[in-house]
């Protein structure tokens, strides 16, 4: 016999109650998962943070719906709170880790003011800021200069403490041309350029068509979760220039390799891991270079050089007002490369136009 019409009406509210109770419980679990992902993201990079933001949105939505249905128990409120926390923390983490790494530079306090003032003559460059800065050998120009088929460092004595870098032109270096490269080992576009045009630069050295001057910068420390990775890698290059110059060029290339460069938001490799990578690409690390890297001996001078670069025009530029405003900046015989960093054919054409290659 068919059930009376009234009995069907009594069953419907019961099913709705069951589904309504599941909604806040689901929101609570999703919110908790989002909170866990947000915490993991603070240590493991941006992927868990994106997951946290997504789960946070879902948990907040479930919490709002639960409250709208008058499900105001602990599960509904807890899911809403956890979801909101995951959402807010995730967005804050992404915003703080976003470096704009192609990389447009933000104002940097006194450094930003100095950059606006500029210098009328390149010979009037200001000394790096800091007290008791100790210079490495073979970096008197402010960068690491390599030349020839073996990419040997051009040598120079260590500058006096707190001295101003002394840029040297191609003629002063005894080279047919000079390629100046400004980069940060934390910058993805610098890695893209190296990956695309590293062989082109090797051809330049092989043909002895130009010397290459590397300027490692440190401003992307802000993207390294407090580990000042840019400063430590720049300092490691300075240690090699000082104590093991034959390893500097291979290490420079290795630090920019996509498979070695840390992903966005990560703290980056430890000093021991930097040393291990140097040994992998350049052989045994000398005790002097090893202790220098471990002690971070040239981190302070690397940071001071970063400030000096941004406070002064690019030496020997055809445009006396040219400054580093993004990386990678590649200047060849005084002319900046403005093409696609990922296009080696375009870069080769640029070198040809400048009479190199």
pLDDT in tens, 241-260: 999 999 999 999 999 999 99
How many domains would you assign to the chain?
2
Domain ranges, residue 33: 20-97
Q: 202 lies in a domain?
A: yes
Asked if 32 and 69 sit in the same domain, the reply is: yes
Last residue of a domain, one of 64, 97, 130: 97
Percent of the chain residues topping a pLDDT of 90: 61
Asked if 197 and 293 sit in the same domain, the reply is: yes
Q: How far apart are CA 139 and CA 264, in angstroms?
A: 30
- Overall average pLDDT of the 185-211 stretch: 98
Residue with tokens 């490691």: 236
Q: 124 lies in a domain?
A: yes
Q: Please enumerate in sequence order all residues whose Cβ is within 8 A of that of 171, keeping only pairs 6 or more positions apart, or say none.
A: none
Residue that wins the pLDDT comparison between 203 and 4: 203
Q: Does the pTM exceed 0.75?
A: no
Segment 82-127, tens digit of pLDDT: 767 766 665 655 444 433 333 433 333 232 222 232 322 333 334 3
Q: 298 lies in a domain?
A: yes
Q: 84 lies in a domain?
A: yes
Q: Please enumerate in sequence order all residues whose Cβ is within 8 A of that of 277, keeping only pairs 6 or more positions apart, or say none.
A: 251, 254, 255, 260, 269
Cβ atoms within 10 Å, residue 241 = 27
Please, which pLDDT band fits residue 81 given cuts at 50, 70 and 90? confident
């Amino acid at each position: 016999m068919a059930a009376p019409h009234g009995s069907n009406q009594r069953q419907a509210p019961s099913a709705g109650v069951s589904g309504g109770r599941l909604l806040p419980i689901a929101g609570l679990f999703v919110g908790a998962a989002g909170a866990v992902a947000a915490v993991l993201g603070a240590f493991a990079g941006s992927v868990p943070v994106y997951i946290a933001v997504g789960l946070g949105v879902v948990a907040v939505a479930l919490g709002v719906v639960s409250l709208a249905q008058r499900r105001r128990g602990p599960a509904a409120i807890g899911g809403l709170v956890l979801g909101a926390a995951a959402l807010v923390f995730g967005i804050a983490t992404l915003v703080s880790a976003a470096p704009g790494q192609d990389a447009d530079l933000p104002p940097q306090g006194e450094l930003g003011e100095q950059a606006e003032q500029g210098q009328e003559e390149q010979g009037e460059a200001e000394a790096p800021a800091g007290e008791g800065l100790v210079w490495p050998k073979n970096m008197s120009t402010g960068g690491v200069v390599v030349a020839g088929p073996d990419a040997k460092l051009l040598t120079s004595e260590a500058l006096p403490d707190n001295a101003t870098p002394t840029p040297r032109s191609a003629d002063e270096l005894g080279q047919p041309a000079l390629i100046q490269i400004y980069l940060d080992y934390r910058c993805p576009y610098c890695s893209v350029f190296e990956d695309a045009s590293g062989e082109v630069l090797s051809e330049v050295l092989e043909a002895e068509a130009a010397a290459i001057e590397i300027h490692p910068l440190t401003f992307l420390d802000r993207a390294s979760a407090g580990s000042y990775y840019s400063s430590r890698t720049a300092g490691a290059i300075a240690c090699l220039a000082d104590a093991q110059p034959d390893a500097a060029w291979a290490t420079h290339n290795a630090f920019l390799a996509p498979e070695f460069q840390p992903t966005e938001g990560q703290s980056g490799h430890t000093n021991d891991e930097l040393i291990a990578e140097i040994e992998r690409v350049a052989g045994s690390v000398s005790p002097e270079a090893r202790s220098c890297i471990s002690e971070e001996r040239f981190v302070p001078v690397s940071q001071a050089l970063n400030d000096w670069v941004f406070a002064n025009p690019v030496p020997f530029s055809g445009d006396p007002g040219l400054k580093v405003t993004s990386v990678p900046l590649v200047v060849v015989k005084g002319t900046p490369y403005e093409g696609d960093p990922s296009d080696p054919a375009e870069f080769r054409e640029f070198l040809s136009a400048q009479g190199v290659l």
